[in-house]
């Protein structure tokens, strides 16, 4: 199916109301105060001048805190709440909150807060912290930090490696990144008769309401979270933000609605980003390319509270290739840096740079085509795991991609075009196919329309349109007759728009709810006194039918005097998890051009071929995958946060944190290998929101090597990396 996005008209005309767009009578403004050291204990905060500044209503700090406590989420565990301690763990930590009649008054007063610190030694460099690395905790599936699979008769991984005729070993580095969503984190908090309403962009209204209720010691029904529009999230708005916690508590203390929004610079520290990583890859292979041994040792930065692990080795080498011997390890390096968290394809995006670069290096060492090497080691199941993939058409992705991209014309050392060195690169992309527990409500109305509703969010993914498409299909009516509703915690709990789960999770729940609605409608039509009393009633095309007669469901509801029929349907992962492994797959291709003299890198073509199950809305799916591929280009050539020794971000703003613009983006092509996967879910769709970014950075680095002969083992790749070894051909 292909459909226009239902939210597009209101977004492009400026009529969509995001969190900070809400204004209510009597509203005042909050401004967050941030720390200016990386590690310390707050000794004192002199707020005298701030409190006496024009328009100021309240100044809060750990010395005079708002009433908040640390919430515990069933999905995330503990969520950090600002100003609950005098400990400063990173530069840019939220340590104060000023509320005034206007934003400008709050901002100016915040500048008057005088902070005294008892400064402590700070560790801010991943490289310097490697010596203090710790084993990561077990993954959500229980996999330990160090995991090994050995074939029968092999006593150790080192023995397997020693027996490998060809060995490749290298270390790769990826940079810290920020989500850089268009909408900064913000919240408008309003109390009314003991009930809190918060307007705030978030990836799951129901989850945000739960966290706020826990933090404020309220019953769940006393918090109403509203976020129908979210200006980008990518994992950075999965948890409740500092502005939401602070605005909610301050609004209660002042008995005034409070709006709080982070500035763009504050977003870089007062939220969370992607960890930096160091990854050591060791591959052993037969001379025909068959993998004998694969070792992937990973280190990632994390904040001082060890809030998150970037599972690079576990997210890639744990599953991607058939190998007789496997050893993976994951360590964390606690630093005095802003928190790390989920970011588009967490683990898989940086992990694929290391793994897919190493596979390319092995192909060079073997003098083998990189696609042939990947297909030769295609896995039917994760190594050491008996559960085979529910469906996998990765080989077809590579075959189609190679044909469409002109891979047969690739030369082992690239070619030149005037002053440009031209090279082609490729990489595998994989991302787990997951589902979250989800409930959807369906209301059939007497005007022959239906409401399909759930509390989940649409942070730009097109989920609102998916509700109308799957809802219309499941109820056998036109999608135009569906009114989809999202982003409100008063709706049935819709899980989280994250992990590329939303379509599979919500779609399955819609199908269950629709079946219940149709069953109840058919039973209603046959009830005593109903139009088809005692008859055998069926349903098709939005109509109930019996004895050669039919009527629409709206006509039936009017006939029995009911304005509506309401049901809910719930879905969650079940016994299929014990029968199969699930993933989406893809093959990434790119062409790069490197100037022989300036060493400027330009990506001139990109192609992604993806096996992501059934495609519900081809237009939105293609857009999502293109966006992911562009993000992969951005990681390869642009993005990287610099952290100074004192913990300050050297480029924590959009002026100096490099992101691609239109001029950086070439022809981007997306092709689907469409095989519905009904073993995964009844809809047949698998996640595609995140897989687009997986592998692309490696494909670009591989293409740079093909063009220049220079192997760059870190991202972002810079001109300086190629100047040092310029080799005009």
pLDDT tens-digit series, residues 245-264: 999 999 999 999 999 999 99
Range 162-171 average pLDDT: 98
Range 493-506 average pLDDT: 92
DSSP string for 491-519: SPP---S-TT-HHHHHHHHHHHHHHHHHH
Measured between alpha carbons, how far is residue 38 from residues 34, 241, 711 in Å? 11, 20, 35
pLDDT at 728: 47
pLDDT at 384: 83
Q: Are 99 and 258 in contact (CB under 8 A)?
A: yes
- Provide the token pair at 2: 């292909």
Beta strand pairing call for 146-149 and 94-100:
unpaired
Strand arrangement of the beta sheet that strand 538-540 belongs to: 538-540, 543-546, 549-552
Contacts 24+ apart (CB under 8 A), 556-561: 556/521, 556/524, 556/525, 556/530, 556/531, 557/444, 557/445, 557/446, 558/446, 559/530, 559/531, 560/524, 560/527, 560/529, 560/530, 560/531
Percent of the chain predicted with pLDDT > 90: 94
Can you name the residues that pair with 539 across neighbouring β-strands?
Answer: 544
Q: How far is CA 655 from the centre of its chain?
A: 24
Location of structure tokens 């898989």: 348
Query: φ and ψ at 266, to 5 degrees?
Result: -65, -30
Q: How confident is the model at residue 727 (pLDDT cuts 50, 70, 90)?
A: low
Cα separation, 644 vs 725, in Å, equals 28
Range 350-375 average pLDDT: 98
Segment among 76-85, 387-396, 425-434, 638-647 with least mean pLDDT:
76-85
Angle separating helix axes 618-637 and 348-366, nearest 10 degrees: 70
Query: φ and ψ at 720, to 5 degrees?
Result: -60, -35
Range 368-386 average pLDDT: 94
Q: Are 84 and 298 in contact (CB under 8 A)?
A: no
Angle separating helix axes 696-708 and 348-366, nearest 10 degrees: 30
DSSP string for 159-196: HHHHT-SEEEEEEEEE--B----SS--EEEEEEETTEE
Tell me which residue of 512, 517, 522 sits closest to 470, measured CA to CA.
512
Q: Is the confidence at residue 409, as pLDDT, over 90?
A: yes
Beta strand pairing call for 325-335 and 291-303:
parallel
Catalytic residues: 690
Q: How far is CA 722 from the centre of its chain?
A: 32
Cα separation, 184 vs 204, in Å, equals 16
- Provide the token pair at 650: 């050297």
Cα separation, 433 vs 582, in Å, equals 5
Angle separating helix axes 618-637 and 696-708, nearest 10 degrees: 50
Cα separation, 388 vs 230, in Å, equals 37
Q: 433-462: string of b/e by CB count within 10 Å (b at 16+)?
A: bbbbebbbbbbbbbebbbbbbbbbbbbbbb
Q: How confident is the model at residue 729 (pLDDT cuts 50, 70, 90)?
A: very low
Q: How confident is the model at residue 131 (pLDDT cuts 50, 70, 90)?
A: very high
- Provide the token pair at 677: 């996967």
pLDDT at 655: 93
Range 560-573 average pLDDT: 96
Tell me which residue of 572, 569, 568, 570 sits closest to 437, measured CA to CA.
572
- Provide the token pair at 160: 């397997």
Tell me which residue of 553, 556, 548 sits closest to 529, measured CA to CA.
556
Query: φ and ψ at 485, to 5 degrees?
Result: -135, 135
pLDDT at 11: 93
pLDDT at 228: 87
Cis peptide before 253 (omega within 30 of 0): no
Beta strand pairing call for 28-34 and 258-261:
parallel
Cα separation, 273 vs 181, in Å, equals 11
Tell me which residue of 360, 323, 319 sits closest to 164, measured CA to CA.
323
Q: Are 276 and 175 in contact (CB under 8 A)?
A: yes
Cα separation, 647 vs 170, in Å, equals 29
Cα separation, 276 vs 642, in Å, equals 10
Can you name the residues that pair with 294 across neighbouring β-strands?
Answer: 283, 326
Cα separation, 226 vs 236, in Å, equals 17
Specify the pTM: 0.96
Q: Count the Cβ atoms, other than its own, within 10 Å of residue 540.
A: 10
CA angle 722, 723, 729 (to 5 degrees): 75
Question: Which residues are CB-contacts of 159 (< 8 A; sequence separation ≥ 6)?
Answer: none
Question: Which residues are CB-contacts of 508 (< 8 A; sequence separation ≥ 6)?
Answer: 435, 438, 571, 681, 682, 683
- The tens digit of pLDDT for each residue in 284-327 reads 999 999 999 999 999 999 999 998 999 999 999 999 999 999 99
Q: How far is CA 679 from the centre of its chain?
A: 24
Q: Is the confidence at residue 76, as pLDDT, over 50?
A: yes
Cα separation, 668 vs 315, in Å, equals 26
Euclidean distance between the first and the last CA atom of the chain, given in angstroms as a whole number: 47
Mean pLDDT computed over every residue of the chain: 96
């Amino acid at each position: 199916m292909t459909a226009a996005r239902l939210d597009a008209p209101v977004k492009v005309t400026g009529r969509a109301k995001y969190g900070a767009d809400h204004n209510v009578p009597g509203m005042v403004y909050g401004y967050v105060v941030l720390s200016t050291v990386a590690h310390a204990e707050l000794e004192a905060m002199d707020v005298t001048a701030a409190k006496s500044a024009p328009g100021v209503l309240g100044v809060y700090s750990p010395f005079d805190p708002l009433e908040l406590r640390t919430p515990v989420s069933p999905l995330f565990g503990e969520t950090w709440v600002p100003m609950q301690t005098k400990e400063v763990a990173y530069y840019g930590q939220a340590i104060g909150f000023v509320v005034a009649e206007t934003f400008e008054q709050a901002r100016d007063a915040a500048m008057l807060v005088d902070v005294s610190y008892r400064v402590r030694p700070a560790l801010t460099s991943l490289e310097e912290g490697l010596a203090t690395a710790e084993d990561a905790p077990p993954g959500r599936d229980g996999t330990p930090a160090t995991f090994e699979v050995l074939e029968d008769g092999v006593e150790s991984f080192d023995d397997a490696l020693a027996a490998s005729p060809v060995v490749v070993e290298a270390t790769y580095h990826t940079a810290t990144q920020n989500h850089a969503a268009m909408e900064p984190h913000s919240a408008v908090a309003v109390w009314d008769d003991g009930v809190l309403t918060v307007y705030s962009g978030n990836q799951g209204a129901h989850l945000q309401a739960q966290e706020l209720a826990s933090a404020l010691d309220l019953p769940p029904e006393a918090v109403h979270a509203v976020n129908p529009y979210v200006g980008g999230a990518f994992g950075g708005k999965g948890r409740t933000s500092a502005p939401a916690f602070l605005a909610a508590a301050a609004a209660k203390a002042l008995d005034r609605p409070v709006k709080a929004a982070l500035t763009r610079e504050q977003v870089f520290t007062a939220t969370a980003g992607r960890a930096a990583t160091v990854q050591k890859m060791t591959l052993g292979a037969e001379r025909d390319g068959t993998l004998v041994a694969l070792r992937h040792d990973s280190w990632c930065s994390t904040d001082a509270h060890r809030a998150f692990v970037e599972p690079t080795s576990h997210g890639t080498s744990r599953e991607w290739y058939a190998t007789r011997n496997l050893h993976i390890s994951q360590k964390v390096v606690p630093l005095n840096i802003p928190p790390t968290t989920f970011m588009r394809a967490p683990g898989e995006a940086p992990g694929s740079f290391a793994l897919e670069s190493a596979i390319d290096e092995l192909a060079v060492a073997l003098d083998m085509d990189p696609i042939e090497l990947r297909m030769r080691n295609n896995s039917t199941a994760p190594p050491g795991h008996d559960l085979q993939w529910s469906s996998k058409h990765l080989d077809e992705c590579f075959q189609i991609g190679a044909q469409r991209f002109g891979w047969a014309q690739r030369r082992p050392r690239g070619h030149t075009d005037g002053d440009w060195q031209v090279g082609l690169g490729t990489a595998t992309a994989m991302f787990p196919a997951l589902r979250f527990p989800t409930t959807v409500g369906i209301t059939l109305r007497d005007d022959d329309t239906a409401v399909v509703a759930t509390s989940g969010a649409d942070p730009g993914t097109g989920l609102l349109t998916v509700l109308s498409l799957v809802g219309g299909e499941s109820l056998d009516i036109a999608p135009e007759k569906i009114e989809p509703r999202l982003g409100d915690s008063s709706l049935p709990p819709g899980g989280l728009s994250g992990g590329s789960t939303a379509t599979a999770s919500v779609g399955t729940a819609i199908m269950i709810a629709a079946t219940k609605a149709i069953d109840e409608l058919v039973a209603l039509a046959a009830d005593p006194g109903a139009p088809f009393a005692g008859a055998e009633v069926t349903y098709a095309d939005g109509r109930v039918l019996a004895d050669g007669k039919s009527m629409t469901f709206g006509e039936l509801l009017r006939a029995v005097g009911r304005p509506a029929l309401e049901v809910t349907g719930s879905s969650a992962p079940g016994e299929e998890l014990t029968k199969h492994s699930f993933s989406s797959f893809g093959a990434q291709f790119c062409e790069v051009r490197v100037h022989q003299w300036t060493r400027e890198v330009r990506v001139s073509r990109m192609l992604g071929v993806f096996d992501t199950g059934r495609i519900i809305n081809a237009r939105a799916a293609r857009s999502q995958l293109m966006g992911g591929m562009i993000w992969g280009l951005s990681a390869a050539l642009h993005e990287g946060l610099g952290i100074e020794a004192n913990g300050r971000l050297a480029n924590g703003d959009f002026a100096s944190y490099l992101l691609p613009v239109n001029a950086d983006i070439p022809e981007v092509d997306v092709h689907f290998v469409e095989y519905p996967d009904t073993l995964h879910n009844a809809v047949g769709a698998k996640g595609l929101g995140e897989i687009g970014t997986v592998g692309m950075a490696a494909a670009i680095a591989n293409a740079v090597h093909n063009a220049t002969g220079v192997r760059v083992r870190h991202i972002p790749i810079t001109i300086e990396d190629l100047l040092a070894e310029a080799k005009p051909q």
